[in-house]
Structures are given as structure tokens and as C-alpha cells.
Structure 1
Amino acid sequence: MSAESPSGVLFDVDGTLVDTTYLHTVSWWEALRQAEHRVPMSLIHRSIGMGSDKLLDHLLGPERDRDADGKLRDAHDSLFAEYWERLAPLPGAAELLRACAARGLRVVLATSAAEHEVGALRAALDADDAVDTVTSSADAQQSKPAPDILVAALEQSGLDARRVVFVGDSVWDVAAAAKLDIPCVGLTCGGTSRGELAGAGAVAVYDDPAALLAALADSPLVTPRRTSPRDKPDTEA
């Protein structure tokens, strides 16, 4: 690796490595429905990747009465927990983490999932042998698109923002990385389109972890950093 190559890879987990985006969508839809909020699933899906506070602001408006927010979050968490034992990794997820580690890259799960969910996600991935550091929502004061969880991931792993790449599946991931000038590789397996991810500033876009793994040698994860998140992205067909 050249001196300009990233020395670590930060991975979002929900929707990027574990197939949970639509489970979160349905769980939020039902939690909101129980509180008599009728929100289309399409809007909820496009909000997944934000923290619950910003998601509720986005869906219900920042001027709403926030007294019920705790109950909404609890309802979502309870509904989502019903899926824990059935969570599945996305294609090639564990293999991608191990391939990055084998190349000498530090692998960081920069997740903003709640601490009680992180164990279920790690169990679904079954790749702890390749993981250097894991964050949780407790490590960030603000949720994405604020970059707090990425700052925490860098601090806990000892990595420099100039030597890492972030892999995520939502425009909120791309926005958070851009605030730290970290290149973000987008994956469409969370249900966000190639055009949306590229338009948000992703430096490259792949279908899923397996597609990124297949192109790993020539991907931004292991090649010298030549672009910033504000440059035009490359896309994988």
C-alpha cells in the first residue's frame, strides 16, 4: 500500500452489512401507526440511517409535541427486536470484512445502533475475528447526518480521517462522511438507488458487499485516495 492509501475502513452496519433497512421501516411504520401517525413507508424508508430523534423530526416535523417520542422509540425497539434471531448478513458481508483485515486494514463497525441491538447485529455478521473496533449510539451526541459516530469510530480505533474510507448504504451516511472529508463508498443493498448515492457524493457505488469484495483490489478501500467526497463518483455497473 502507498503512503496515501487508507489504513482502515469504517462500515455502517444496518442496511450495509446486515439486511435490516426494511425491517426498521416496518417497525417504525407500526410504531407510528400505533400512535395514530399515518406515514407512508416510502418516506420512512428514505429516513432510515438517521438517528431516531432526527428521523422523527423529519417525518413528523420539528415543531411537534415531543412528549411521546420515548414511547415511539420504545415501540420501534420492541417491534424490531422480534426480528433479532432472524437477522441475516447481506451477501459477502463477512467475507468482505475478512478480506479487508487480510490486507492489513483496520475494520471498524461504525454503527449508530443502540447498544442492545449491536450484539444481535454482530451475531448475524459472525465476523468478530476481522473486526477491530465497534461503536454504538451511546458514543455519539448527535446522530447522522451529523458525523459524531464517525468521530467516535476514529477516536476509538486510533485511525486518521485522512487514512480511511467509509462504507454505507444511505445518503445520510454519505453526508456524515463528507463533513469529515472522508470518502464514502455507497452500497445499494439498503434500498437507496445508485443515482441517489452518487448524487449525494459517494465516490463509488456497488450493489452489495459481495460486489464490493469482487472489485476490492481496484476499489477506493485499497487504492490510493485520489478524490474527495465532493468530486464526481465512479459507479460500478
Structure 2
Amino acid sequence: MDDDNRPAGVLFDIDGTLIDSTYLHTVSWWEAFRQADHDVPMARIHRAIGMGSDKLLDDLLGPDRDRDGDQKLRDGHDSLYAAYWERLRPLPGAADLLRACAARGLRVVLATSAAEHEVAALRAALRADDVISEIASSADARESKPAPDIVAAAVERAGLDAERTIFVGDSVWDVLAAGKLGIGCVGLTCGGTSRSELAGAGAVAVFDDPADLLANFAESPLAKLD
């Protein structure tokens, strides 16, 4: 497809951006670490949420650790987090924001570090499949965020014009991943990362949550994509 004919679009992270799950991941990793005799403070875990599990483990346990236990840690997290799936809830205005983007002719794409088996639960909680064009997950990336692989895969799968694409995320890892491709990232503080941290990482604008972004859509970077 010629770049001039590629549509504009909005990429959305899911965890902490559209679904209120950041702290559930934090608690699940904390318990998984405890079960493996790793005492990692929750505050440190929270700041690593948004990376893929490989980079999260490097950050929290060190790159020189014995990696033989990594899969057990991942399995422990997955099992603990799965207990919350039926109770996952969208953040305020999440589905309405996606539908507003689609109504303006913007292609709506999910770009997440979540594994495929988690994505189905997140989509069920979000209830916006009717306007989601494509999904890129950890299976589509060689490296996880803050590497740009997932963002690049989402742009390519949806056939987007990268120069008319915005990424919406809640972590500094989202901002950094988008920035490596020259794609602007709108930050949301609903995942627990402060406005100053998101702006300092390079976010082109920061809002409280999807409802706040929707209420201020006309003044946001998303409006300039039309």
C-alpha cells in the first residue's frame, strides 16, 4: 500500500491504559517473587509494569541472575493474575474513547506486551471488539517494550501511516517505545505513573484517564490525525 493511501490511526496499550490492571499485575508479580524466595518491594515492581516479562525480570532481579527459574516466575505470575480475569474492569471512558476514534475515521489498534492468553480476557473486559481493527501482542515482537517492536508490528499489521499515528499508553515504557519510531505518545496517569514522569519521558500530552482524554479530544493530539 502506498504511504499516501495509508489511514491514520491510534494505537492503545491495554493494561493500565484501558483496563484497570496495573496493580493486579504488581501484586501477582510480588506474590510470584515471594513464592520463589525473592523479596522485591511492590513499589519497584509497579515501576517495571509495562515492560515485557523478560525485561521486567532483568530490571528487578538483575541481568546476571540464574535464569533457570524465570519460567517458573512467569508461570507463577500468570496463574495468580488469571484469578482476577473475571473481575477485570475497564477504566472510565475506555470503550467510549475507542468508539469516538473509530467514528472519526481513525483506525483503532491495540498494542500490548500482554501474552495472547491474557489478551482475550482484556478484550472481554473492554467490550469494544466492534471497533478494534488489529491487535499486536507479545507474540508479534522479538523484543518487548521499551523496545519499539510491538508498536512497529501494530503499525504494520494495521497498514497505518506512521506519520499520522498516535500511541496512547500509561507507562514511560510506552512513551519510550513510541518515541524510538518517531510516533507521538499521549500519556495517561491512570496506570499510576505521574504526569511529570510521562512528560519527562517525552509524552506529547498527558491526561488523567480515557474519559479525560475523550472529554478533551478536540484539543488533544488525536484530533490532529483527522
Q: Same fold (TM over 0.5)?
A: yes
- What is the Cα deviation at residue 155 of structure 1? 1.1
> Which residue does 2:88 correspond to in 1?
87
Segments of 5+ residues of structure 1 without an aligned counterpart are: 226-237
- What is the Cα deviation at residue 7 of structure 1? 1.0
- Deviation per CA, 1:97-121: give whole Å up to 9, x if none: 0000000000001112100000000
Is 1:36 paired with 2:19? no
> Which residue does 2:66 correspond to in 1?
65
3-state secondary structure, aligned to 2:142: coil
> 2:51 and 2:161 mapped to 1: Cα distance?
24
> 1:221 and 1:72 mapped to 2: Cα distance?
38
Give the partner amino acid of 2:18: L
- What is the Cα deviation at residue 170 of structure 1? 0.2
3-state secondary structure, aligned to 1:138: helix
> 2:156 and 2:43 mapped to 1: Cα distance?
35
> 1:191 and 1:224 mapped to 2: Cα distance?
27
> Which residue does 2:18 correspond to in 1?
17
- What is the Cα deviation at residue 160 of structure 1? 2.2
- What is the Cα deviation at residue 199 of structure 1? 0.5
Is 1:193 paired with 2:194? yes
- What is the Cα deviation at residue 224 of structure 1? 5.6
TM-score by length of 2: 0.96
3-state secondary structure, aligned to 2:166: strand
Give the structure with the higher percent helix: 2
> 1:37 and 1:160 mapped to 2: Cα distance?
44
> Which residue does 1:96 correspond to in 2?
97
> Which residue does 1:234 correspond to in 2?
none
Identity of aligned residues (%): 76
> 2:33 and 2:89 mapped to 1: Cα distance?
25
3-state secondary structure, aligned to 1:49: coil
> 2:224 and 2:156 mapped to 1: Cα distance?
23
> Which residue does 2:53 correspond to in 1?
52
- The 5 A counterparts of 1:65-214 are 65-214=66-215
> 1:49 and 1:90 mapped to 2: Cα distance?
16
Please give the root-mean-square deviation of Cα atoms over the aligned residues, in Å.
1.2
* Deviation >2 Å, runs of 4+: none
3-state secondary structure, aligned to 1:184: strand
TM-score by length of 1: 0.91
Segments of 5+ residues of structure 2 without an aligned counterpart are: none
3-state secondary structure, aligned to 1:37: coil
> 2:149 and 2:136 mapped to 1: Cα distance?
11
How many residues align? The count is 221
Is 2:10–2:109's contact at 8 Å kept on the other side of the alignment?
yes
Is 2:9–2:225's contact at 8 Å kept on the other side of the alignment?
no
